[in-house]
A and B are shown apart, each in its own frame.
Chain A
Amino acid sequence: MAKSEVTKQNILGEMTQAVVDGDQQRAAALAKQTSMYKLSPLEAIEEGFVKGLNIVGQKYQSGEFYLPELITSSEAMKKALETLEPQMKKEGAKRDELGKVVIGAVEGDIHDIGYTIVATMLYVAGFEVIDVGRDAPVRTFIQTAQKENADIIAASALMTTTMAYMPELIKQLTELGIRDKFKVMVGGAPTSQRLCDKIGADGYGANAREAVAVAKELISGTE
């Protein structure tokens, strides 16, 4: 193997390791060095950083890693993407994604920790995730999903009082004649499978892990 190839492999390995370690600074620094090692942004992502994320996902599944490792690793990945994605867009390259999810907390609800964990786990699992934030009106979910051509709308509520906006989301999608365009997932402490069935949503996850499994299932159903 040529010396430059060894260096390239080493740097990709370091990128992988930076994500596994959740080392944001290292990930950002390595992302900036991509062109120095004659790597394309897509190569750096797919052959370097994403491999780290995959290892983290496997370690989480096997019980070795927990949420703190998962979240910090995905933050390191995001740091790398901050540098690489603009370059990648310039070159017209695109990552393979499982599907696109628009996620947020419904109107009146400013609790964002729970759905952020779900968003991160979806991201680690390979979804593109568009976060509409907390206290998001129903129309924001819908407009974003339309604009981004999303596959799934995932709405979270932590309060029984704000949960009332979930049927409203389904209602408005139906009234607009676009209910079939999106799969709708609901989640958050006061929600339940019963609520999901009652309001006619497509999926419910009792926790973040379940939510990812449900999203994967919904996506496979759309293919």
Chain B
Amino acid sequence: MKPKIELLSREELELIHTQTLHLLQTKGVKYDSKIALNYLEDAGQEVDYDSLTAKISPDLVEKCLESAPKLGEVTLYGRDDRHEIIFDGGRTYYNNEYGGRDVLDFEDYETHKYRDPTIDDVKRSVTLADALDIVHIIWPGCFPTDCPPVLLDLYNQQICFTNSSKHLQDQARDLRLVPYKLEILDAVLGDRRKMKEKPAVSLIFDTVSPLRWEKDMIEATIEMTKNWVPSFVHSRPQPGVTSPVTPAGTLLQGNAEVLSGIVLLQLVQPGIPVAHSVTGTCVDMRSGIAVGGQPLERLLQSAGVELAHFYNLPAWAWNTSYLVQPEYASGLGNYNTDLTLFLERYIIDAERFAMVDRIHEGFKVNEESLMRLDIERVAYDGTFLKEMSTRNHWTEEYFVTTLGEEGLYDLEGGMTEGSCSSKEMLQAAHERVEHILATHQVNPPLSSDVIKEMETIIKRAQKELVG
């Protein structure tokens, strides 16, 4: 038995798809970039350079969906080949959270404080993520404030490569940084062209809802795509704010956004691996701020995964879900709606996500696992604790917690501040963080020559871009 819940029927998926094609053809999408529009015009699409919009024909959408590698054909790597990530629909891979605008320093339950993130915090987050087996894709955990803001992505790239050998993912937000980013790839991989066979980095390509792509991100992502850097095309609208309030309407708009991104990237580099991701963030309709945990959000995340699978593409979802199984899920370490880097949360979520994996494994139903003879033997007054079958197999069936007593877990977790469960669990997580940071060594380490080369590249970028 493998848990399988179908939210959308084939007919409903077909309807969303048909309406998406209609929306792309009649309304089109705004690409804030003439470079992007050139690609669409060259592909015979109706482009308006004044309004920066393009109407995309169903034929082109189908053609680009055809050229994107499908489930089972997409494999990502780390800078070390051991870290293979095979998107074949069989399992979920996780990353560590990104986006901390501040850091929560935890000393003990009573003593903790918020402060600005530093380069050292990025290093700590990456080291921790590198050490956690459940993390396969590395994100720099926060935005350091002790480096020039324009160079932030370069610093993060350098720190990630230095402190982890796993697959690295970030965003291309600034065209000026692309040459340096590619030089860093040359330094680390030996040659950026290796990306085509074994992509060691990938990008998040974020839309701006409704139906818009932002200039800097488009143009930087196009350049990276030319160099075979795969993209996870992502729409994260807010129902009722940046998309229709209904989940169906949000899925339709999100799908149109994602497909318009996939079309562009396939035009730039036919065959570039992409992932499809329609998620969604709910807002507090009193204050307007983003909030996690809404049932609507969970439904959207899950339906978004089904939409990706409808196209036979790898799915990326925000936060993990027991409803459906994406190939890739974020949210590990998510705290304060991903605004705060809280390392202890990494540890807690590593267990929480492993529990979700356990649910997805399901269980066997056969003559042996039904254990009818055991029941007959033990009933009416015995206990199964005396049975060797229990002794031999209980750890396959139970999830063995390592962070305190069973029952302390809140599997749903909370993404908002103050939602971490218990004092004991936090303390245990804190001790684990301290231990890992004190002992973990990245394997294999980067050579000192490569580290030096990256430093030289960043120094040059600083001189050329900051002065």
A189/B339 in contact, CB under 8 A? yes
The complex places the Cα of A184 from the Cα of B288 at a distance, in Å, of 21
Closest B residue by C-beta to A63? B286
A111/B116 in contact, CB under 8 A? no
Closest A residue by C-beta to B152? A161
Task: Contacts A110-B208, A110-B214, A111-B208 given; indicate if A192 touches B287 (C-beta within 8 A).
Answer: no
Say if the beta carbon of A208 comes within 8 Å of chain B: yes
Closest B residue by C-beta to A190? B101
Say if the beta carbon of A29 comes within 8 Å of chain B: no
- Residues in B with CB closer than 8 Å to A207 are 284, 287-289
Closest A residue by C-beta to B338? A189
Say if the beta carbon of B370 comes within 8 Å of chain A: no
> How many A residues are at the interface, by size bracket?
20 to 34
Interface string of B365-400 (1 = CB under 8 A from A): 000000000000000000000000000000000000
The complex places the Cα of A159 from the Cα of B289 at a distance, in Å, of 15
Interface string of A59-78 (1 = CB under 8 A from B): 00001001110000000000
A209/B101 in contact, CB under 8 A? no
The complex places the Cα of A206 from the Cα of B208 at a distance, in Å, of 22
Stretch of B62-70, B238-246, B265-273 contacting A (4+ beta carbons < 8 Å): B238-246
Number of residues from B at the complex interface, CB < 8 A = 30
- Residues in A with CB closer than 8 Å to B363 are none
A208/B238 in contact, CB under 8 A? no
A208/B287 in contact, CB under 8 A? yes
Say if the beta carbon of A99 comes within 8 Å of chain B: no
A209/B286 in contact, CB under 8 A? yes
Say if the beta carbon of B444 comes within 8 Å of chain A: no
- Residues in B with CB closer than 8 Å to A111 are 208
B149/A164 in contact, CB under 8 A? yes
A209/B152 in contact, CB under 8 A? no
The complex places the Cα of A215 from the Cα of B256 at a distance, in Å, of 39
Closest A residue by C-beta to B215? A110
Say if the beta carbon of B102 comes within 8 Å of chain A: yes
- Residues in B with CB closer than 8 Å to A117 are 288
B285/A67 in contact, CB under 8 A? yes
- Residues in B with CB closer than 8 Å to A67 are 283, 285-286, 288
Interface string of A179-213 (1 = CB under 8 A from B): 00000000001111010001000000011111000
Q: Which of A47-95 contact B (CB under 8 A)?
A: 63, 66-68
Say if the beta carbon of A108 comes within 8 Å of chain B: yes
Say if the beta carbon of A114 comes within 8 Å of chain B: yes
B101/A113 in contact, CB under 8 A? no
- Residues in B with CB closer than 8 Å to A210 are 287
- Residues in B with CB closer than 8 Å to A68 are 240, 285
- Residues in B with CB closer than 8 Å to A159 are 173
Say if the beta carbon of B143 comes within 8 Å of chain A: yes
B241/A113 in contact, CB under 8 A? yes
Closest A residue by C-beta to B241? A113
B287/A161 in contact, CB under 8 A? no
How many A-B residue contacts, CB cutoff 8 Å? Answer: 62
Q: Which of B53-108 contact A (CB under 8 A)?
A: 99, 101-102
Say if the beta carbon of B411 comes within 8 Å of chain A: no
- Residues in B with CB closer than 8 Å to A164 are 149-150
- Residues in A with CB closer than 8 Å to B46 are none
Closest A residue by C-beta to B173? A161
A114/B288 in contact, CB under 8 A? yes
Say if the beta carbon of B32 comes within 8 Å of chain A: yes
Say if the beta carbon of A146 comes within 8 Å of chain B: no
Task: Contacts A110-B208, A110-B214 given; indicate if A194 touches B285 (C-beta within 8 A).
Answer: no
Say if the beta carbon of A33 comes within 8 Å of chain B: no
The complex places the Cα of A111 from the Cα of B238 at a distance, in Å, of 12
- Residues in B with CB closer than 8 Å to A118 are 288
Q: Which of A89-120 contact B (CB under 8 A)?
A: 108, 110-111, 113-114, 117-118
Say if the beta carbon of A160 comes within 8 Å of chain B: yes
Closest Cβ–Cβ distance, residue A164 to chain B (whole Å): 4
The complex places the Cα of A110 from the Cα of B214 at a distance, in Å, of 8
Closest B residue by C-beta to A117? B288
Closest Cβ–Cβ distance, residue B291 to chain A (whole Å): 10
B143/A160 in contact, CB under 8 A? yes
- Residues in A with CB closer than 8 Å to B174 are 161
Closest Cβ–Cβ distance, residue A107 to chain B (whole Å): 11
Closest Cβ–Cβ distance, residue A53 to chain B (whole Å): 18
- Residues in B with CB closer than 8 Å to A192 are 101-102
The complex places the Cα of A134 from the Cα of B339 at a distance, in Å, of 22
The complex places the Cα of A118 from the Cα of B289 at a distance, in Å, of 11
Closest Cβ–Cβ distance, residue B126 to chain A (whole Å): 17
The complex places the Cα of A118 from the Cα of B283 at a distance, in Å, of 14
Task: Contacts A160-B143, A161-B173, A190-B339 given; indicate if A108 touches B216 (C-beta within 8 A).
Answer: yes
- Residues in A with CB closer than 8 Å to B173 are 159, 161
Interface string of B208-222 (1 = CB under 8 A from A): 100010101000000
Chain B residues engaging chain A, CB cutoff 8 angstroms = 32, 99, 101-102, 114-116, 143, 149-150, 152, 173-174, 208, 212, 214, 216, 238, 240-242, 283-290, 339
Chain A residues engaging chain B, CB cutoff 8 angstroms = 63, 66-68, 108, 110-111, 113-114, 117-118, 159-161, 163-164, 189-192, 194, 198, 206-210
Q: Pick 15 A–B contacts, CB within 8 A, sort by A.
A: A68-B240, A113-B238, A113-B241, A160-B99, A161-B173, A189-B101, A189-B339, A190-B143, A190-B339, A192-B102, A194-B114, A194-B115, A206-B287, A206-B289, A209-B287
